[in-house]
Amino acid sequence: MMTQKFHEPFSPAILETEVTKRFVKIVNDVSDDVLSSEEKSKKWDWSNQLVGKVSKEVLIPLTSEEDKQYLLKTVKQGCLDYLLHMIKKGRNNPWTRMNSENWNKEPTLDNIHLDHSWVVSQYAGEFNPFHHHNGDFSGGIYLKVPEGMNDEWEEDLQDHYPAKGLIEFAYGETQSFRCDNLKFKPEVGKFLVFPAWLKHLVYPFSVEGERRMMSFNATIVGQGEPPTKSYK
């Protein structure tokens, strides 16, 4: 059983959980193959759909149906766990609105569809500016973290606003007695799920090495709706 923690410093929650070593290896093996080839990197390039100021952002061309289904189930489960938590908390959500005449019906994995997934390969000086995603859910899974980043964080802690290489979420305005931002350190296997509309950014770092993350967008669909064909 993977550990789960829901962070709720402001109204929208962020789910922090983890994936298996198998998940990380599958995505890294495919990513290594694509990112190491200029030809494949161009073929699977996804950067024109994104805002990141990073070296490469590519789709994930899985050839093994078994691996594809394993990754798909893992990501969908994270989204479903998030949705069930929101329903339990009585939060406004697409599923409840979609089933207003049958409000006690619980969603299943079949009601979560992955729209797109891609890998962000980030190096020193690169960053992702404030942005949001499409769909109902978005998320990210850390696949690689530069070896020297822990030392950089220790040094950054001496600063008034440590942030190098971190992802930061922001919501609302700065006011007394409230929190308007939340940051997470990248750790291999860490899995974050959040509302697609929640704005976030990724700060640059200065050490050598690659910070690699798999990102995705997912949508809640009703019973009988066809699955998306955009998943790669």
Report the CATH number at residue 199. Answer: 2.60.120.620
| pLDDT at residue 232 tops 50 | no
Return the structure tokens found at 34.
Answer: 């694509």
59 strand-pairing partners: 118
127: which DSSP letter?
Answer: B
d(CA 163, CA 153): 8
Number of domains in the chain: 1
Structural domain contains residue 4:
no
| pLDDT at residue 102 tops 70 | no
Reported as half-sphere exposure (CB side, CA atoms, 13 A), residue 9 has a value of 14
What's the rounded mean pLDDT across residues 203-227?
A: 85
Asked if 211 and 186 count as a contact pair (C-beta separation under 8 A), the reply is yes
> pLDDT tens digits, residue range 128-180?
999 999 999 999 999 999 998 888 888 888 877 788 999 999 887 777 766 77
Return the structure tokens found at 190.
Answer: 């860490």
- Angle at alpha carbon of residue 73, lines to 69 and 76, rounded to 5°: 135
pLDDT band at 206 (very low <50, low <70, confident <90, very high): very high
Structural domain contains residue 38:
yes
d(CA 72, CA 66): 10
Model-wide pTM > 0.85: yes
Structural domain contains residue 5:
no
Structural domain contains residue 232:
no
Structural domain contains residue 163:
yes
pLDDT given at position 95: 86
The SS3 of residue 130 is strand
Percentage of the chain exceeding pLDDT 90:
64
What's the rounded mean pLDDT across residues 102-122?
A: 90
pLDDT given at position 65: 95
> pLDDT tens digits, residue range 169-184?
988 777 776 677 889 9
Q: Which domain holds residue 154?
A: 15-220
Structural domain contains residue 2:
no
The SS3 of residue 4 is coil
Structural domain contains residue 82:
yes
- Sequence-distant (6+) residues with CB within 8 A of 213 are 119, 120, 122, 140, 141, 142, 143, 186
The SS3 of residue 3 is coil
Return the minimum-mean-pLDDT range out of 16-25, 136-145, 176-185, 222-231: 222-231
